[in-house]
Homo-oligomer: A and B are copies of this chain.
Amino acid sequence: MARYRTAGQEQAQRPRSDFRVAERPGYLLHKAAMLLDEDVEKHLVAGVAMRSRYFLLLATMASGPELSQKDLSQLLNLDPTTVVTVIDEMERNQHVERKRNPADRRRYQLHVTPAGRKALAAAEKVATEVESSFFGTLTDSERETLRDMLSRVMAGRWPASVCERSL
């Protein structure tokens, strides 16, 4: 992961920051998400040797409705082939077991093992700490407001439209 953020110690000839992009709400959203993603990925890898998409897939499998690999790829916007790769890895790590769905033998029932749940708990602890630190300057009430606004902005697109299906 590249780091272009660490600053040098040079002359500050024009301490302005009137970048047009910095005023676009869309770019602020993009940038904030990128910074948080990097933080989460870095700490997950360092703390529990797990990458973000592994964590997200595991967390999704461990909670809520039972999902096929196809469902997961739709919900998390991951390519189906990527889901295969990550779940292969999960099986090798004995965090997940693939069992055929008796009602539709094309699908898998993805079963998170106790070891998988344990690993997930550790990862969630890390992720929660990173998020808490990232949103550190916001009050609890503000965090709730942010959560609410983001949910509303996505209403009907996520996760709703995915859930319309078999979920």
Contacts and interface: CB of A to CB of B under 8 A. Distances in A.
Nearest to A151: B28
Contacts of A84: none
Interface string A26-66: 11111111111100100000000000000010011011110
Taking the full assembly, how many copies of this chain does it contain? 2
Per DSSP, chain A at the interface is helix
Chain A interface residue count: which class? 35 or more
B16 A26 contact: no
Most chain B Cβ neighbours within 10 Å, of A33, A151, A162? A33
A28 B167 contact: no
A102 interface: no
Interface of A: 2, 4-8, 10-22, 24-37, 40, 56, 59-60, 62-65, 73-79, 124, 127, 130-131, 134-135, 137-138, 142-143, 145-147, 149-155, 157-167
Given A7-B161, A7-B164, 6 more contacts: A5-B158, A10-B166, A16-B64, A21-B59, A21-B76, A31-B77
23 contacts: A2-B77, A4-B74, A4-B78, A14-B65, A17-B64, A19-B63, A20-B124, A24-B131, A26-B36, A26-B40, A26-B130, A28-B150, A28-B154, A31-B150, A32-B150, A32-B153, A33-B33, A35-B157, A137-B153, A138-B152, A138-B153, A145-B145, A145-B149
